[in-house]
Amino acid sequence: MDAEQTTSDARRTMMALRAHRRGGYEQLVYEEAPRPVPGAGEICVAVRAASITFAELTWPETWESDGADRTPVIPSHEFAGVVVEVGPGVTDLAVGDAVFGLVPFNRNGAAAEFVVVPEEFVARKGPTVSDAEAAAAALPALTAWEALNDQLNVTAGQRILIRGGTGGVGAFLTQFAHRLGAEVTVTVTSVAAEDRARRLGADHVIVAGSESDARNRGAFDAAIDAVGADLPEWLYASVRPGGRVVALQEPPSRELADEYGVTASFFVVRVDRARLEELAGLLAAGQIEAAIAQTFPLSDGRAAYASGALPKPAPGKTIVLVS
C-alpha cells in the first residue's frame, strides 16, 4: 500500500465509541468506524469534547429512526469542536470555526473523532470558554432555558421550586431562574450541597427528607422536576391551585395534577441556534457556569458511561475528551 492510499484511507475512517447491539454501557466498544461526510446544510466537526447524558442508552431514538434499526450507533449528543468540512448550502460557518451544540437524537453522536450535524444545531464558541465547558452546557442549559421561558414563562417575583437544584440541568435552572428575578427555592441531596445552591442563585434551600413539610404546601407558583425518578406527590402539593408542574425526564401524573388543581407538562428540548448563541455569550462573560464532574479520554468511553452507576466525585457533567 503506497503513501497516497494510506492517507486516503485515514481520511475515510476515525476512532469512535460504538454499540452494535441494544443495551447499556457493556455494549460500547472503542473501534475504527467510517468517518461521516456532511451533506447539504451540514458541517463536519472534529470533536474536542463530548458530554454524556447517561439515560440516552435507554432512549428509543438512540437505537432506531422511523422504526428502522440504526446499529451500530455512536452515543453522546452534546459536543464542542472545530469545523473541518462544510456541505453544500452552508452559509454562516467555515472551516476553522470553533463551535458547540447538539446532534439530533436519532443520529450518530459525538463520542468520536468527527461528527456531522446540521448547521443550525451549533453556534460559535468563544475562545475563553473551554471545549469541556461548552459541551457540558449545551443540552442542560437549553433544557433549563426552555423550561423556564417557554413552558413556565417565569417573571420577576414568581416563586419557583426546583427539585434537584444543583444537578446537571438543575444547576442551570437555578442560575436562569435567579437571573429572571424569581424567588428560587431548590431541593438538594445533602447539607454539603447547600452552599453551592446558594452560590448558583437559590434564595431558599430544602435538604432531602424535608420536602413534604406541610409548610411548603401551595407555596409556589410553579415547580420543576430535574431529578426524573418518579415525580413525588409532594411536588404537586407544593404548587398553588392553578400553578404549573414541569417534568423533564418522564410524563407527569394526570391524576395527581387534577387532584391538586395544577397544570402538569413534559417536553423534549428543541434546538434553537439563537439561544445557543446567547448561551455562548453568557458563558464567555462568566455570567453562568457549567460544572464538570469528571473527564475520560475517548478510548475509555465505555468506562465513562459505566460511571453513571457510581457516585460522582463532584457535581456536574461527565465529559469525554477527544484529542
Please tell us whether the domain made up of 139-266 is placed in CATH 3.90.180.10: yes
Would you tell me how many other CB atoms lie within 10 Å of the CB of residue 21? Answer: 11
How far apart, in whole angstroms, are the C-alpha atoms of residue 319 and residue 293?
Answer: 8
Q: What residues have CB less than 8 Å from 170, skipping those under 6 apart? A: 144, 162, 163, 164, 186, 226, 227
Angle formed by the axes of helices 131-146 and 170-179, nearest 10° = 70
Could you say which of 1.10.357.10, 1.10.1740.10, 3.90.180.10, 3.40.50.970 is the CATH number of the domain covering 3-125+291-321? 3.90.180.10
The whole-number pLDDT of residue 208 equals 78
Q: What is the pTM of this model?
A: 0.89
The whole-number pLDDT of residue 8 equals 45
Residues of the chain within CATH 3.90.180.10 domain(s) are: 3-125+291-321, 139-266
Are 202 and 165 spatial neighbours (Cβ–Cβ below 8 Å)?
Answer: yes
Grid cell digits, residue 137: 452546557
The whole-number pLDDT of residue 2 equals 47
Tell me the pairing of strands 98-102 and 114-118: unpaired
At 270 the three-state DSSP class reads coil
How far apart, in whole angstroms, are the C-alpha atoms of residue 238 and residue 235?
Answer: 5
How far apart, in whole angstroms, are the C-alpha atoms of residue 152 and residue 246?
Answer: 8
Are 185 and 234 spatial neighbours (Cβ–Cβ below 8 Å)?
Answer: no
Average pLDDT of adjacent 10-residue blocks, the chain of 323 residues: 43 94 96 97 98 92 89 97 97 96 94 97 96 96 94 96 92 96 93 91 87 73 88 94 93 94 92 92 93 96 95 88 89
Structure-derived torsion over alpha carbons of residues 117, 123, 124, 130, reported in degrees to the nearest 10: -90
